[in-house]
Amino acid sequence: MSLTNRSLVTIDDLSDGEMEALFSLADEMADYPKNQTELCHGKIMASLFFEPSTRTRLSFEAGMLRLGGRVITTVDIGASSLAKGETIADMAKVVGSYADIIVIRHPWEGAARVVADYAGIPVINAGDGSHEHPTQTLCDLYTIRKQRRTIRNLRIALWGDLKHGRTVHSLIYALARFDATILFCPGPGLEMPEHVLRRLSSEYKGELKKCRNLNQELNSKLFPIDAVYLTPSSPHQLAMLPDINVGVELKAGVDALYVTRLQKERQAPTVGVQELKKGYPVVDKKLLKAKEFKKTLVMHPLPRVDELTHEMDADPRSMYFKQAAYGMPVRMALLALLLGAKEPTIPEEKDSFIRKTDYPVYHRDSGITCPNTNCVSNQETEVRYIKPEFKIVSRQPLTLRCIYCDHELHPQYVASSEWHQRKLENKKYHSADSHFAKKIKPENLIVFASKDEAKAQQFRPSSYVRQ
């Protein structure tokens, strides 16, 4: 399938085969730079960065220029018309009429999806809040592939601020697809969000094991492992003897240790950043002397602060500057593909790609909103045109996932549009976990956040509603 004119909002927008094709093209970009200098001649990339960035923006821009294309840039929210109260949809439409492709970074989760919906040209998500950062994931995987010759069946440890790090969110979805075992080693209070873990285990079919407290002794020597994601494709000892075999798992070695910094700027204002900083683990030469790390790739999406010492820079295991440098060929390949300057050669598809599940979609105007205050669908300017929309990812318990930011909600009360459409006096609502509720077809489902909300819409409690 051609990548021309498509957008990259989430890492799931690319199939496994497309990723492999992109990496081959990145090799070509790196190895024969002189062949690429006219590939995107006459094309314009709009670089819209509403959050600070050096690495990502400059590598996209340098990449586009090295392809012979040109660049227009907006870097500062103060210098943009957003300050005048414009919606991002309007901005997307307008910029879409000047440029051939948009690269956007934005503090709101789901912003890149909205821009892609309205721009009319391909859009690349260069980071949307704490949500996703798919091109960083491409750089990460490409780095591993260059070093290990494969991105399949890896054992990866994720270290640090797993709560706010959008890079790790995009990364684990990709790793899961390529049959990785993932060890989660968060800083205290910085655990991977529940909805991310749930998506991981529900969508990618692996098994998630919480291990904290199980291996205190081990932890003291290495680092606290909070949870392990076990890929379904390769059976593990661990799966059978969870209490003791995290150590066994580790003894086989860790392919990559992915360190992230404390995302100070995304902490809730009530959180004591100084406290977090104090408890934040540091990766240094001493830690990496353990034999489990003998051949471990030390990775970091950069910028780093204190969590990874400068003494590691000269260590041959350190990959973080290579990761950054690979940003250019990887992004060149992506730009060339989305702009149709290159057609991908998709290698014979192995069966391992778990296609995105086609969940039924809920988009009634029934008072339900996304619980994430940072979601694009909750912003004052954007509610003018965005209606909340959710995938119904589970009926038991009833779980709706925001199509913009992937946060989940669990409505307590439901009704059926079928019943009351036929007989209006029957506008009754039920507890979401009642026997009756589960029989409602997805297309007829109406959900309420509260009894009051149901009442406000003229529904009365059925006998299935607990008082």
Residue 200's nearest CA partner among 145, 236, 160, 158 is 158
Binding mask 299-328 for its own copies (x = CB under 8 A): ---xxxxx--xx--x-------x--xx-xx
Stretch that binds its own copies, among 71-79, 123-131, 200-208, 249-257 (CB under 8 A): 71-79
If one asks whether residue 52 binds its own copies (CB under 8 A), the answer comes out as yes
State which of positions 90-119 bind its own copies (CB under 8 A).
90-91, 93-95, 97-99
State which of positions 374-433 bind its own copies (CB under 8 A).
381, 384-385
Number of Cβ atoms within 10 Å of the Cβ of 365: 8
Binding mask 239-278 for its own copies (x = CB under 8 A): ----------------------x--xx-------------
Residue 58 Cβ vs its own copies, minimum distance, rounded to whole Å: 5
Residue 223 Cβ vs its own copies, minimum distance, rounded to whole Å: 21
Task: Look up residue 85 and give its DSSP letter.
Answer: T
If one asks whether residue 466 binds its own copies (CB under 8 A), the answer comes out as no
Q: Is 25:342 a contact under the CB 8 Å cutoff? A: yes
Binding mask 19-48 for its own copies (x = CB under 8 A): ---------------x--x----x-x-x--
Number of Cβ atoms within 10 Å of the Cβ of 172: 25
C-alpha distance from residue 337 to each of 1, 177, 206, 249, 455 (Å):
11, 22, 31, 39, 52
Integer Cα distance of 399 and 412 in angstroms: 10
Residue 96 Cβ vs its own copies, minimum distance, rounded to whole Å: 9
Nearest CB to its own copies, comparing residues 33 and 371: 33
CA angle, residues 264, 386, 265, in degrees to nearest 5? 5
Nearest CB to its own copies, comparing residues 81 and 237: 81
Number of Cβ atoms within 10 Å of the Cβ of 271: 13
Task: Look up residue 83 and give its DSSP letter.
Answer: G
Q: In what order do the strands lie in the sheet with 398-402?
A: 361-362, 390-395, 398-402, 408-409
Nearest CB to its own copies, comparing residues 160 and 411: 160
Task: Identify the bridge partners of residue 158 per DSSP, sorted by sequence position.
Answer: 184, 258
Residues near its own copies, by CB under 8 A: 34, 37, 42, 44, 46, 49, 52-55, 57-59, 61-63, 65-66, 70-76, 78-87, 89-91, 93-95, 97-99, 261, 264-265, 302-306, 309-310, 313, 321, 324-325, 327-328, 381, 384-385
